[in-house]
Amino acid sequence: MRVRGLRYLFLLLPLVSVTGCASLRTGRGFTGTDPEQIDPRVLRIERILEDASARLDENDPEGARILCDRALEKLLSLRGDISSAEYERLHTDAALIRVKASHERRSKYAAVESDLFPLIWNTRVEKWINHFTGRGRENFKAIMERSACYVAGIIETIDSKGMSRDLLAVPAIESGYNPFARSRVGAVGLWQFMEATGREMGLRIDDWVDERRDPCKSTVMALRMLNDLYTRFGSWELAFAAYNYGPTAVSRRIRRFETEDYWELFLPRETEEFVPKIMAAIFIIREPELFGFEPFFTRPRRWKEYTVEDAVDLRAAAEWAGVNVSRIQGLNPELTQMCTPPGERYSLRLPEENFQEFVNNFEAAEEKFLTRQEINRRVRRVVYHRVSSGDSLWSISRRYNVSINNLRRWNNLRSDTIYPRQRLKIYTHGS
């Protein structure tokens, strides 16, 4: 359900970029500024917003909403007459008060409703709304821009399962819509699967393909897992907590604290923040204009698939399609060796608008596939190094001709500290 009343005001307001923390900052007093030099019209808007915030404190959301709409009308009339910084500050404050007032259960004006659960506006959720619309605004904006590559396929999968599109917020929080994301504990992909979990769910993970990074197949598995967790716990809040922390661990916490209310459970900090982050993302994704963002998921990038018979180099595929190689990588993030798997048929995803160009050039090419020698150079082989006294990541990286960053990533190291007799996993390539 959308915000009622003066909804059109938000559509007319400019798309702002707030650099400070978006919070209810009215009444901060213009430190260091002579009040007589402040535009009296700005002061009037600030006073109205102060009154609106006070109405919220007095459990009068309807009065707060009316005052907030009055402030927005006056602010709209000042566009171009006051500084952009002042305009952005007042707009952000008004937007937060407006959606908070509309969301109060006592108000008949519902602001944002999720198909998953009642959205709760509390200090834990508000903290992340403030972050995503303030200091983290540019990062959140980048997350939504990256989602354009994958959102069409994810929405299609969600709809086919009869599930809520609000689940689009989960990969936004899990990976920032980056299929190449890897957590400090080794979780990979849009939905952040551990290797053991991925294999257990039937995802392919080998030298050539890691389907945890496949946007389509990983989404199918993630939705299946989330649906199973919801069936088990009867609550999406607890399902998300179990997705992040593990179902057995969440069950233990439920028994220990004798409550099935997510908000009452004592959980690790990362898990306690997980659901508030998702709720904050749903608030913003459902009402982007209200928070100064462009509408999300309105320009999805679509692809078509072409089946190749052997190993095709992604750089060559990019040239045949007339696009940057990063575009091909982004559409085929599951390919770990910059090529399709050798000796097998594989459906390569290509930008829809460049598909025919690729087909024409590929079919006309004399050398389409990698040679056996080129394939051998890409095969990763695992070796294990037993740390000896005097070893360092630098000396080990020189010995095996790999980077220190890769050594850390392969072994989930948080620092450069290693210990004698520690076993390190190292990937090397064939010759």
How far is C-alpha 374 from the geometric centre of its chain's CA atoms?
36
Cα dist from 12 to 24, 79, 138, 290, 368, whole Å: 22, 11, 21, 10, 52
- State residue 71 phi and psi, 5-degree precision: -60, -40
How far is C-alpha 384 from the geometric centre of its chain's CA atoms?
34
- Measured distance CA(287)–CA(112) in Å, rounded: 7
Cα dist from 170 to 37, 150, 275, 276, 329, whole Å: 47, 13, 9, 11, 22
Give the domain 137-291 fold.
Lysozyme (1.10.530)
Q: What is the pLDDT of residues 309-361, one digit of tens each?
A: 999 999 999 999 999 999 999 999 999 999 999 999 999 999 999 999 999 99
Q: What is the pLDDT of residue 379?
A: 78
- Closest CA relative to residue 215, chosen from 140, 162, 155, 284: 155
- Measured distance CA(296)–CA(279) in Å, rounded: 16
Q: What is the pLDDT of residues 415-428, one digit of tens each?
A: 889 999 899 988 87
Report the pLDDT averaged over residues 4-33.
Answer: 36
- Measured distance CA(392)–CA(390) in Å, rounded: 7
**Could you tell me if 339 and 384 are in contact, meaning their C-beta atoms sit under 8 angstroms apart?**
no
Which DSSP string corresponds to 308-341?
ESS--BHHHHHHHHTS-HHHHHHH-TTBSSSBPP
Report the pLDDT averaged over residues 215-230.
Answer: 96
Name the one residue in this structure whose structure tokens are 């699967």. Answer: 193
- Crossing angle for the helix pair 123-133 and 269-286, nearest 10 degrees? 60
**Could you tell me if 400 and 385 are in contact, meaning their C-beta atoms sit under 8 angstroms apart?**
yes
- Measured distance CA(193)–CA(186) in Å, rounded: 8
Residue 112's pLDDT band (boundaries 50, 70, 90)?
low
Report the pLDDT averaged over residues 126-148.
Answer: 89
Report the pLDDT averaged over residues 12-22.
Answer: 33
Name the one residue in this structure whose structure tokens are 């999968």. Answer: 157
Q: What is the pLDDT of residues 65-91, one digit of tens each?
A: 788 878 877 887 787 788 877 777 787
Cα dist from 388 to 291, 391, 406, 431, whole Å: 55, 6, 20, 27
Q: What is the pLDDT of residue 176?
A: 96
Residue 106 has pLDDT above 60, yes or no: no
Bigger pLDDT: 370 or 17?
A: 370
- Closest CA relative to residue 124, chosen from 357, 233, 283: 283
* Strand intervals (E) in 335-376: 346-351
Mean residue pLDDT across the chain: 84
Residue 375 has pLDDT above 60, yes or no: yes
> What six digits make up the tokens of 379?
């095969």
Superfamily of domain 379-429: LysM domain (3.10.350.10)
